[in-house]
Amino acid sequence: MKFTATPQEQLQIVTTGVVDLIDRAELLAKLEKSFASGKPLVVKLGADPSAPDIHLGHTVVLQKMRQFQALGHEVVFLIGDFTGRVGDPTGRKKTRPALTEEEVFANAETYKSQIGKILDLQKTRIEFNSRWLAPLNFVDILKLTSQYTVARMLERDDFANRYKNQIPISIVEFLYPLMQGYDSVALKADVELGGVDQTFNLLVGRDLQRSYGQPPQVIMTLPILEGLDGKDKMSKSLGNYVGINETPEQIFGKLMSIPDEIMGKYFELLTDLSIPELQEVKRRACSEPKAVKVQLAHRIAAQYHGEAAAVQAEAGFEKMFGKSGDGLPEQIEESKLSAPPEGLPLIRILVMAGLAPSGGEARRLIQQGGVRIDQQKQPDQNRMFQRGESFVLQAGKRGFRKVVLE
């Protein structure tokens, strides 16, 4: 294969926005060897199918993989169907319940469809780690476990804290980093990508490759993306996320609500703008923040739903929040909810309609005046809504539902 970008140019592109790179000299050497031989690097990203949906926070690493793919390298999206039955202990304060085989494969199918919105599936190698982990016999596992000590495992902060506080750590949790590391051995990975919270597991992969006589992979970790509030990590449980399967109107509206100061980071981590384009965007963000934010919202809505849908979403937003707008979007998603004979309280309706992630968040929105019914403020949170009622429910600035109680 003939690469169009030089090793130095590739290095500059793929290291933009990276937190840790272990190490730069090794990566440049691999890129130079790849350029000279015409053989692409094998770039690995693993994901346990522990949940069915992907939000923009998850896509940060996928965007980096897309850059490698655009440069001509072989990207491997590894679905941890085997390790997913164990559960990654990273950041866990207690042992996580194992997923069933049915849950793992159901979630894996949704992953495959969603990553196609970011990666070119025709050029993406999708692997399942059960292919090499399931056949291992006990002798193979003993050889694998002999490569690492308990002391090394306890270097992990989450393991060390649990051990110090006498919180149980199962032996199978010690096996998880070894299994993830063995994935790199099986794939002969040249580069492995991950979030900053995955550094320990990625280092295990480097160590195991050496033990099995392979050149160690380069590690690249990406930052954690702040959510819509600009403070906390993007998370469904915090309600500050943008799901890539949400409607273009939802994506556009949510992104228009982010703080101005994080626009540059969103462009850097979520788009494929060139380095000069990123510099220009960051410069313009100071003088014309709204226009730049519209550019960001439009670009991301188009990435996941197409240009026509992004144009419509932008027009709807301008109609809703422009000077002549009536405060309502042109299209509002309808939620038909089943109400018991005694009716449904507003808090429950907000959760069922997908406008609040939990009852606590719904109550907070109501108390802060963030909920409207048919554009009327301060609804009665104690009222029981009955079958046959219908109304437009608004939560925050961007969340709208036409609620029909049946």
Parallel, antiparallel, or unpaired: how do β-strands 74-79 and 42-47 relate?
parallel
For the chain, 406 residues long, give each residue's pLDDT as a single digit of tens. 778 899 999 999 999 889 999 999 999 999 999 999 999 999 999 987 766 678 898 899 998 999 999 999 999 999 988 887 765 555 444 445 566 777 777 777 788 888 888 999 999 999 999 999 999 999 999 999 998 888 888 877 778 888 888 888 888 888 888 999 999 999 999 999 998 888 888 999 999 999 999 999 999 999 989 988 888 888 776 778 898 888 899 899 889 888 888 999 999 889 888 888 988 988 888 888 889 999 999 999 999 999 999 999 998 888 776 644 445 666 678 888 888 988 999 998 988 998 888 888 888 888 877 888 876 666 777 888 888 888 888 887 778 888 888 8
Helix 56-70 vs helix 263-270: crossing angle, to nearest 10: 50
Give pLDDT tens digits for 237-258. 677 889 888 889 989 988 988 8
Mean pLDDT score across all residues of the chain: 86
Architecture of the structural domain at 248-321: Orthogonal Bundle (1.10)
Closest by Cα among 43, 16, 19 to 31: 43
Specify whether the CB–CB gap between 319 and 325 falls below 8 A.
yes
Nearest to 60 by CA among 239, 203, 259, 196: 196
H runs (alpha helix) in 54-193? 56-70, 101-115, 130-133, 138-145, 150-153, 157-164, 171-187
Quick one: which H or E segment has residue 204? helix 199-211
Answer whether CATH 3.40.50.300 is correct for domain 7-222: no
**The pTM is what?**
0.69
| Beta-carbon contacts of residue 216 (< 8 Å; ≥ 6 apart) | 26, 206, 207, 209, 210
Domain ranges of the chain: 7-222, 248-321, 334-405
Q: What is the CATH number of domain 334-405?
A: 3.10.290.10
Alpha carbon of 156 to those of 93, 151, 177, 236: distances in Å?
Answer: 12, 10, 11, 26
Q: Are 236 and 228 in contact (CB under 8 A)?
A: no
Using one digit for the tens of pLDDT, what is the confidence trace for 253-285? 889 888 888 999 999 889 888 888 988 988 888
